[in-house]
A and B are shown apart, each in its own frame.
Chain A
Amino acid sequence: MTIVVNVSDAAVSDDVEDVLSTYSLGSCIGVCAYDPAAHVAGMLHFQLPSGAMDPQRAQQNPFMFADTGMERLLRLMAEKGADRRRLRVKLAGGAQMLNDNNLFNIGRRNQTAIRKVLWQYGLLIDREDLGGNSPRTLYMKVADGTVTVKSGARTAVL
């Protein structure tokens, strides 16, 4: 079954038949985390770097932000039996979208934010497809953690 992760959203699955997917990754970043031993997959689609920017919004929807989103995602994955020390992490997104005149440089700031958050959790990034100017679509198979990124005509396995 395909599980769609919306903007400012996350999903976790341990069903090997599932594929997690998310769309419209522009300046947003999609985080894929996978425990290969427990076959638990988690995907987060966050928009902004830090919940400190808007604590009320962060409380209402933690998945909007890199820090609160990762905290919640890791907790959800642990509840399904994932061990953080085994997690393989892959990232996609963080683009500079040409239609936002890059005033706030959100894509770049999201990249910095997620690197910092992952470091704090002791997680290294296995593969990444970040930056550029184009939106991305992201898929992750729960069966084996395979992550595929599509952007325009380009398709790549991370």
Chain B
Amino acid sequence: MGFRFLIVDDSATTRAIIRRTIRLTGVPADVILEASNGIEALQILTCEKVDLVLADLHMPLMDGVELMKHMQCDAALATIPVVIVSAEPNVSRIEELTKNGVRGHLRKPFTPESLRALIEETLGVAHA
């Protein structure tokens, strides 16, 4: 039984890179879903089971911070781990998000190895 991922980023290139990295990690992935903003993400989350959300912060329509707030307000979504993959340079902003349920953070540009480490750590999967 594999994991179900949701990638939330307004850049199709970034989503493709994250998608490919997930596949290359060897972590069993049943499904990798994608959304280009927070609204699309919430639409997916309300009808699909997801084990890990990888979200950018700066997106149109609904950004990563708003997405987190909505997820925290929904009992069904509040327990889903979220990691932020963002170019956000403000460390204190990231720390604030961590207090509000974000389980990890990866600063863009990132190496695939660092994304692998973050995914494995968040899901509690040992490196194969």
Residues of A within 8 A of B (CB): 115, 119, 122-125
Q: Does B116 contact A (CB under 8 A)?
A: yes
Contact check, B111 vs A115: say whether CB atoms are below 8 A apart: yes
Residues of B in contact, count (CB < 8 Å): 8
Question: Which A residue's beta carbon lies closest to that of B112?
Answer: A124
Q: Does B48 contact A (CB under 8 A)?
A: no
Contact check, A122 vs B24: say whether CB atoms are below 8 A apart: yes
Residues of B within 8 A of A (CB): 20-21, 24-25, 111-113, 116
13 contacts between A and B (CB under 8 A): A115-B111, A119-B112, A122-B20, A122-B24, A123-B24, A124-B21, A124-B24, A124-B25, A124-B112, A124-B113, A124-B116, A125-B111, A125-B113
Query: Measured between C-beta atoms, what is the minimum distance from B55 to chain A in Å?
Result: 22
Q: Which of A115, A119, A124 has the most CB of B within 10 A?
A: A124
In angstroms, Cα B116 to Cα A13, docked, is 29
- Give the top 10 A-B pairs by smallest Cβ distance, nearest first: A125-B113, A124-B24, A124-B112, A122-B24, A124-B113, A124-B116, A119-B112, A115-B111, A124-B25, A123-B24
